[in-house]
Structure 1
Amino acid sequence: MRVTRIVRPTKSLNNDSIPVNIRIAYAGTQFELFSGEYATAKNWDNKRRVFKQGGMAVYMNRQLDNLENLIKEVWYETIQEHPTPDPKELKLAIDKRRFPDKHSTKYLPPLEFIFKFADDHKSQLSESFIRKAKSTSDHLKAYKPNVKWQDLRIDFWNGLTSYLYSKGMSPGGIEAYYKFIKSMCR
């Protein structure tokens, strides 16, 4: 596997800021990743493929070195499972390591999410929104205390509707709860 830094000026881009890409080549396959850095013709040494000395050059070169090391680590981990990994698989594995939050599958349950959202955005939310959040959470807790996102299916909604009717809520009040829950699910 070979990892190379690529800076390719294009006519469509302003040549004051040219993206620095990382090309990964192996087994007759190659693809490029955006490094997150930009270079200019003045501050890029195309022979050595590094930022020229001065300004932020040391920092930028260190960032590129770290990215290359991360790519190599992921490569060695990936070839343990697949001798010649598919470029899409390798790119996804690299992205998961570079941006772990983006690929995280950790979700809060609906009730915790509503409380956390209301707490985190308290200064930006109206009092009526916070009251709706508390009221909706209280009704959801009373109906099904350990509700999960995958529980939010038609049978859940039918059961919740029956529960809210039994508590004396009007159809308009139930609709308001549903609208609020729907807005929180977006």
Structure 2
Amino acid sequence: MKHVFVTPANTLRPRWREAFPDALVVAAVEQLAVDAPAAEVAWLEASLLDAAARNAALAAASAAGYRVVLMTATPAEADAFQALNAGAVGYCHSESAPEQLREVGLVVAHGGLWMPPELVQRLMALSLRVQPQSTGPGPDLGALTPRERDVALQVALGASNREIAASLAITERTVKAHLSAVFEKLGARDRVQLALMMSQGAF
């Protein structure tokens, strides 16, 4: 999976380079087709862009076929939802740790949606307020092992992989393995969908 970072500075920050050593970098969305035609995930550093410019860049990159992750120095709930509505499939802090950037990249590259865990939790709470009762069947939690269920519940509460690992006294790699199994068994595409599914099952 090829990654390209779109940043006015036209240079990769050390943590971006550590996360994706082979990543490309361009200064503007207009350069993507020329300088990074083979890239599939575009990371848009939007801290210096106003809302109109950011949304235009998001729309252009999405229309060109890239899966766009918006990065900002000041993540906020309303901003995240606006970015997702504008075409982004991921939203994270521009100074996220390399391991978190890799996690975001993996999720969006496989067709998922990624938001910070705390925003997933707020989205789940909003869903419960809007639709307090679900008429459809909840997730088949019986298909999960006890440990997979523990991990799924932690995701529903908005915990990150690192927090889940610490809470359950397991490694982050083990958390990721359990999450992969949970996604497959429940048919969830990403953490957001999993959290909403868990809310339907009332934990």
* TM-score relative to the length of structure 2: 0.21
TM-score when normalising by structure 1: 0.23
Structure whose alpha-carbon radius of gyration is higher: 1
